[in-house]
Amino acid sequence: MKRVARTFVLPLAALCIVFGLKSPAQQTSADAGQLDVVLKKMDEAAANFRSTQADFEWDTYQKVIDEVDDVETGTISYRRAGREIEMMAEVKKAGSTLATLKPEPKSVLFSEGKIRMYQPKVDQVTVYDVGKNRADVESYLVLGFGGSGHDLQKSWDVTYLGPETVSGVATAKLQLVPKSQKVRNTYKQIILWIDLERGISVQQQAFQPQGDYKLAKYSNIQVNGKKIPDEVFKLKTTGKTQTVSTGG
């Protein structure tokens, strides 16, 4: 589960001090009211959700070297398929500050309870069957994109941190702390920046227990635009592609 979560999408008291975050007990009645407004906006967006496409930049910070050592850019697509949501991330460019790491373009598809990652350089598809962790994985994937606001409170302690402008977009900053110890073993907390007009996430930051984090920035977001072709949600493999499988 940890390995799958780190592919994507990332002591609490110390983090609260360092990043100026709040505990639910510190919420004022005004904060609670603002939180409810934001969650209702997300509920509305989820009810009307059909598809989303966006450009992304994923920055990975490593605490041990105290810097961002991995930057990936590309496009991401979501669509509702019956009661489920499918996702395809196309990593077009990747780079690392560490000479020992050589990130490369790849495609990551989530569909039918499985994550499939295609690496064209080695012409290999790695299949992760998330199995009993499917609900957890799906909850990560739809954070801010097609997921209901109030449903967040079933699995997370959600705290309103205030307004913030991100790349010219007025957002509400939300702190999510997982209620499940199993999830806390992967993510201590996740920060969402929710577009106040559209009820979707424009930025996410996921903190791991050891202090590493992944910052995801989204731009050129198209919500419920023209139908996304089925081909977008298919891996572009070759006749010689090897497939390997691993458990969730």
Q: What pLDDT, on the 0 to 100 scale, is given for residue 247?
A: 64
Determine the pLDDT at residue 117. Answer: 95
**From first to last of its 248 residues, what are the pLDDT tens digits of the chain?**
444 444 444 333 322 323 334 555 566 887 888 999 999 999 999 899 999 999 999 888 887 777 777 788 999 999 988 878 899 999 987 665 554 455 678 999 999 889 999 999 999 999 988 777 777 677 677 777 878 888 888 889 999 999 999 999 999 999 999 888 888 888 899 999 999 999 999 999 999 998 888 999 999 999 999 999 999 999 999 999 999 998 65
Fold of 2-247: outer membrane lipoprotein receptor (LolB), chain A (2.50.20)
C-alpha closest to that of 97 among 72, 63, 69: 69
Residue 16 pLDDT? 32
Contacts with 111 (C-beta within 8 Å, 6 or more apart), sequence order: 81, 84, 86, 87, 233
Per the structure block, which two tokens stand in for 184? 């806390």
Q: How high is the pLDDT of residue 96?
A: 57
Task: Name the strands in the sheet holding 201-207, side by side, starting at the edge strand that comes first in the sequence.
Answer: 156-166, 169-178, 189-195, 201-207, 213-223, 51-62, 67-81, 84-96, 106-111, 114-119, 124-129, 242-247
Per-residue confidence (pLDDT) for residue 35, from 0 to 100: 95
Within 13 Å, how many C-alpha atoms sit on residue 129's CB side?
A: 6
Helices and strands in the chain, H and E counts: 6, 12
- What is the reported pTM? 0.79
> What pLDDT, on the 0 to 100 scale, is given for residue 125?
97
- The span from the CA of 242 to the CA of 1, in Å, is 23
| Domain residue extents for the chain | 2-247
Closest CA to 189 of 199, 174, 170, 172: 174
* 3-state SS class at 200: coil
